[in-house]
């Protein structure tokens, strides 16, 4: 089995964060975005990653190129004149304040077609694929996900996705083998009502199965995630850990599960490792980060229990 993952990340961003733990401020410069955070976690778990993206030819795009390659990822990029997106966050008072941001320019038809062809070739070569979203849903058409997901799976690759809105609807038509959605995204998309509690989550998860997804995980912030594994709905119970940064837990959960599947592991082990990766991520400021030995220890403490409704 080819233990490699192709991460489809249409529009990564340059992230600039200002922090201050002592007397002097600190500046942190990283490549970011959902796909990058997922790729970073997958690579940290020992699985090689091919990172497929569109990058600008300007200063931001050149900086992103260096930062992505420094992550140890195999970068495969489509270049274009319009520069890549970015944001500047000030976190010196513990709260995250947006100083300025620009998500980037939407992908045109030519860029989308070139990225599709690149991701198709690399995805078939890798065998395991993650289709990630963009910071602004308007940057890439949902149709790209439907087309790419279908063509990858029809030709023997496996597809995992972590999407919402119209992009979620599009990838469901491709029938992904693994799907992660947050409960907030379910509520925003009208797939469940928060007032219905577990009953609404279970109803939504079965609807997602009927619409094409195989294994489905619903992340729920501080509550146990809910998963549909084969035909059983289970709660994913985590160890109690202190939270430093809640952002990125869902991305790490997807990445951890995909890393296990790429190595040939079973789906229940994949969900446990994903949950452990997500749990560890919230104890750190870096998104998509975590020591594999810590994740392995936490995985032993993850429990999958039938959900009572």
pLDDT for 25-60, tens place per residue? 999 999 999 999 999 999 999 999 999 999 999 999
User: What is the average per-residue pLDDT within 173-190?
Assistant: 95
What pLDDT was estimated at residue 278?
Answer: 87
233 vs 238, residue with greater confidence: 233
Site of tokens 């149709």: 143
Q: How many helices (H) and strands (E) does the chain have?
A: 10, 14
pLDDT at 248 over 90: no
pLDDT for 257-270, tens place per residue? 999 999 999 999 99
Extract the tokens encoding 236: 């994913």
Flag whether the pTM goes above 0.85.
yes
Where are the domains positioned within the chain? Answer: 4-306
Closest CA to 146 of 126, 116, 125: 116
Packed helices 109-126 and 142-154: angle between N→C axes, nearest 10 degrees: 30
Q: Please, what CATH class does the domain formed by 4-306 belong to?
A: alpha beta
User: What is the average per-residue pLDDT within 116-134?
Assistant: 97
């Amino acid at each position: 089995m080819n233990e490699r993952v192709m991460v489809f990340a249409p529009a990564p961003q340059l992230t600039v964060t200002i922090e201050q733990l002592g007397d002097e401020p600190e500046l942190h410069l990283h490549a970011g975005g959902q796909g990058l955070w997922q790729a970073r976690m997958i690579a940290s778990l020992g699985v090689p990653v091919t990172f497929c993206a569109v990058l600008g030819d300007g200063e931001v795009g050149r900086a992103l190129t260096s930062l992505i390659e420094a992550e140890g990822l195999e970068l495969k990029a489509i270049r274009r004149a319009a520069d890549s997106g970015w944001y500047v966050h000030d976190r010196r008072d513990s709260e995250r304040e947006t100083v300025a941001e620009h998500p980037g320019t939407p992908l045109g038809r030519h860029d989308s077609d070139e990225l599709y062809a690149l991701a198709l070739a690399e995805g078939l070569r890798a065998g395991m694929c993650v289709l990630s979203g963009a910071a602004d849903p308007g940057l890439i058409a949902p149709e790209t996900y439907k087309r790419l997901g279908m063509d990858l799976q029809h030709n023997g690759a496996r597809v995992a996705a972590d999407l919402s809105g119209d992009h979620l609807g599009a990838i469901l038509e491709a029938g992904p083998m693994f799907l992660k959605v947050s409960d907030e995204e379910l509520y925003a998309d009208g797939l469940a009502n928060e007032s219905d509690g577990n009953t609404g989550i279970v109803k939504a998860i079965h609807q997602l199965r009927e619409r094409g997804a195989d294994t489905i995980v619903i992340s729920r912030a501080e509550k146990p995630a809910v998963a549909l594994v084969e035909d059983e709905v289970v709660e994913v119970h985590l160890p109690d850990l202190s939270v430093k940064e809640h952002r990125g837990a869902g991305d790490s959960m997807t990445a951890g599960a995909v890393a296990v599947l790429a190595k040939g592991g079973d789906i229940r082990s994949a969900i446990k490792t994903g949950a452990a990766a997500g749990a560890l991520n919230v104890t750190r400021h870096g998104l998509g980060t975590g020591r594999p030995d810590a994740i392995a220890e936490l995985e032993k403490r993850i429990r999958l229990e039938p959900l009572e409704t």
